[in-house]
Structure 1
Amino acid sequence: MNNEVILRDVNKEDLPIFFEQQLDKTANHMAAFTAKDPTDKIAFMSHWHKILDDDRIIKKTVLFNDQVAGHVSSFEQFGEPEVSYWIGREYWGRGIATRSLSQLLEYVSIRPLFARAAKDNTASIRVLEKCGFKICGEDKGFSNARAEEVEEYVLKLPIKAE
């Protein structure tokens, strides 16, 4: 195995794998801001079909050694360009999130670019910081996965000269 991380466009055949990956309770707790009911496959598929139909959203499947390991995306949220990613738990701890986000950032040229992570999601914060993001603010919102309000960091990837 060569531990290669490749991004490609998301296709409909990836969706069942994404669905299975997001069922993981530990992953949902870490991500915090997830679907109201992760087990609702119809809602999940409907949500993803809207994403696939929206040309404004950049969405890439993360392949690790030719296996679907997760996805990365860039979209507008709260009026700002933002990135997000999900890596299946079985792929954690191998640098896949950092490598896939780094590759996405080569493709997405918009700056500044933002991301959000629950304050206690140190692994995600570390990935974002390795990719050049800096904490620039704080927010909080209701977490479906935790059934409570959760504090989060807002991170920013600045324009190169900043």
Structure 2
Amino acid sequence: MDIRLRGLVDDDLDRLFTWEQDPAAVALAAFTRSDPSDRAAFDEHYARIRSDPSCTVLAVEHAGTFVATVGSFTMDGEREVTYWVDPDRWGRGIASAALTAFLEVERERPLVARVAAHNVGSATVLRRAGFVEVGRETSYAPGVGADVEEQVFRLAG
């Protein structure tokens, strides 16, 4: 797949904000902001992570078009990966290709990934990239306003 990773730029934020408001995407991701339509919270979040040297956030281009983000951050002493794909482009292998490319950039291991247990697509992406499920937890998910079972994956190595 013809994908390229690059730095996230200001011009990407309007599209990303739109994607992160998609009701189906929020329901699948679950662990999002409690109000996906709150632009100030969105802008604050991205300003914070883009200025934090311990966070990596990259744009993903497919055939020259911005289609996703992929990144990593440290939480509770563990390095975690995250990604978000334009909902109009789900099911085309973009998340798998982006994560595979990102794993060449993010060399720290082990890596952790968390996904709502009902998000079968994201769990499949992680397994294809070599992540193994190591547990399940139930946590409050602000995006859906309820407790959600979460699968925890790890990539050793």
- The answer to whether the superposition gives a TM-score over 0.5 is yes
Alpha-carbon deviations, 1:28-55, whole Å to 9, x = none? 0000101010000011011101111111
Other-structure match for 1:96? 94
Name the CA distance, whole Å, in 2 between partners of 1:84 and 1:75: 8
Q: Which runs of 4+ in 1 moved over 6 A?
A: none
Other-structure match for 2:34? 36
* Corresponding residue to 2:135 among 134, 137, 144: 137
Q: TM (normalized to structure 2)? A: 0.97
Name the CA distance, whole Å, in 1 between partners of 2:51 and 2:143: 26
Shift of the alpha carbon at 1:70?
A: 1.5
Alpha-carbon deviations, 1:100-137, whole Å to 9, x = none? 00000011111111000011111000000000000011
Counterpart AA for 1:44: F
Name the CA distance, whole Å, in 2 between partners of 1:12 and 1:124: 26
Q: How many residues are paired up?
A: 157
Name the CA distance, whole Å, in 2 between partners of 1:37 and 1:70: 21
Shift of the alpha carbon at 1:145?
A: 2.2
**Could you say what the CA RMSD is over the residues aligned between the two structures, in angstroms?**
0.9
Unaligned 5+ segments in structure 1 are none
Counterpart AA for 1:86: W
1:67 aligns with 2:65: yes
SS of aligned partner of 1:125: helix
Name the CA distance, whole Å, in 2 between partners of 1:67 and 1:41: 23
Other-structure match for 2:9? 11
Alpha-carbon deviations, 1:50-91, whole Å to 9, x = none? 111111111110111211111000110122000000001011
User: Contact 2:34–2:145 (CA<8 Å) still a contact in 1?
Assistant: no
